[in-house]
């Protein structure tokens, strides 16, 4: 009944139906995500949020991850996350996220974009966006690339990594509610 009232009110006020959401809590904050998104625990204590259908070619399903202290401790070549570098927890070459037939290419020296953004009231994150290319197994440029977006909350020990440019994720994080 409450869901029906909420959807009806949204339709009357905006002319479009509201998208139903569900809460996801992690490291002291809660975000509201679409009910169609799936949430899974990862092996190091974080959460993976799957936002769409998985491709047989992709290394991982579309979505993003919420990582805590362990994810931060192993986020850069097996060492601690470094804000001036892309998220790369492996100490070796890794498969290209959107197409496993290729390897992730040479990492850029500079991010495409950086900013300080709100993640809920009173909490700021360093936002960094990287344009990452892929290469063939013989180190030639591949016709595939992807955007990696990172929200790093140092004090709160939270790392959000989005390798699929998830639509609306920035707004979802901006509306986070902290305990």
pLDDT digits (tens, 9 = 90+) for 103-114: 999 889 999 999
* Distance from C-alpha of 161 to C-alpha of 173, rounded to nearest angstrom: 12
Q: Going by DSSP bridges, is the β-strand pair 103-104/29-34 parallel, antiparallel, or unpaired?
A: unpaired
* Distance from C-alpha of 135 to C-alpha of 95, rounded to nearest angstrom: 9
Helix, strand, or coil (residue 70): helix
Helix, strand, or coil (residue 174): helix
Compute the mean pLDDT over every residue in the chain, rounded to the nearest whole number. Answer: 90
What does the pLDDT look like over 42-76, one tens digit per residue?
A: 999 999 999 999 999 999 999 999 999 999 999 98
* Distance from C-alpha of 117 to C-alpha of 173, rounded to nearest angstrom: 9
Q: pLDDT per position in the chain (179 positions), as tens?
A: 444 444 444 434 434 457 899 999 999 999 999 999 999 999 999 999 999 999 999 999 999 999 999 999 999 888 999 998 999 988 888 899 999 999 999 889 999 999 999 999 999 999 999 999 999 999 999 999 999 999 999 999 999 999 999 999 999 999 999 99
């Amino acid at each position: 009944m409450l869901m029906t009232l909420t959807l009806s009110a949204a339709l009357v006020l905006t002319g479009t139906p509201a998208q139903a959401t569900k809460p996801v809590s992690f490291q002291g904050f809660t975000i509201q995500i679409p009910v169609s998104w799936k949430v899974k625990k990862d092996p190091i204590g974080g959460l993976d949020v799957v936002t769409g259908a998985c491709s047989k070619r992709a290394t991982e399903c579309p979505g993003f991850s919420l990582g805590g202290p362990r994810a931060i401790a192993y986020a850069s070549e097996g060492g601690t996350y470094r804000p001036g570098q892309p998220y790369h927890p492996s100490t070796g070459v890794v498969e290209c996220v959107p197409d496993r037939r290729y390897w992730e290419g040479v990492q850029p020296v500079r991010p495409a974009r950086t900013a300080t953004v709100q993640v809920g009231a009173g909490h700021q994150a360093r936002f960094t966006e990287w344009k990452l290319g892929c290469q063939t197994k013989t180190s030639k440029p591949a016709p595939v690339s992807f955007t990696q977006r990172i929200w790093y909350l140092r004090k709160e020990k939270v790392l959000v990594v989005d390798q699929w440019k998830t639509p609306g994720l920035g707004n979802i994080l901006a509306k986070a509610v902290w305990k």
